[in-house]
Amino acid sequence: MKKQYKKGLRTQISKNFWSTEMDCKCKDPECKWTIIETEHIKKLQTKRNKWRKSIEITSGYRCESHNKRVGGVTNSAHRRGEATDIKVKGMAPDAVADDCENFKGLGRYDSFTHIDSRDQSYKSRWDFRRKKPHE
């Protein structure tokens, strides 16, 4: 289920997460709402409970113009409130990604991990790390 929150209005959405953490990072005055998929936040909270470590959401919901500005794909799960780019205190991005195989979308990057709960029957995986571990 998707919920809409007023951008900038801090509302608790789970035990350890707040709606403002998912706000679009743009400065556009027309960007006034944040869309959050509740099932995605539940899965993220489950990981937080398991790891017992702070999770920084570096990118959550993105409005259309911000998504375009950062080079996001047109049908990005960030646009639907189904995705987060995260950093976990005390964990390497590879370790985070290895433990997030249950998410439908999983992207590996040098400094963060993309996870999403897109609505599709198959899993999507990509690796944009500059240096892969097997190289």
The pLDDT assigned to 13 comes to: 98
Please indicate, yes or no, if residue 6 is contained in any of the structural domains. Answer: yes
Residues of the chain with pLDDT under 70: 132-135
Count of residues for the chain? 135
The pLDDT assigned to 71 comes to: 94
The pLDDT assigned to 134 comes to: 62
Please indicate, yes or no, if residue 135 is contained in any of the structural domains. Answer: no
Domain carrying residue 113: 2-127
Helix (H) or strand (E) run with residue 55 in it: strand 55-59
Check which CATH number belongs to the domain holding 75 and give it: 3.30.1380.10
Domain count, the chain: 1
Q: Whole-structure pTM over 0.75, yes or no?
A: yes
The pLDDT assigned to 34 comes to: 98
CB 61 within 8 A of CB 28: no
Please indicate, yes or no, if residue 132 is contained in any of the structural domains. Answer: no
Please indicate, yes or no, if residue 58 is contained in any of the structural domains. Answer: yes
Please indicate, yes or no, if residue 134 is contained in any of the structural domains. Answer: no
Please indicate, yes or no, if residue 64 is contained in any of the structural domains. Answer: yes
Own/partner pairs, 94-97, CB within 8 angstroms, 24+ separation = 94/133
- Structure-token pair, residue 125: 């995986």
The pLDDT assigned to 133 comes to: 67
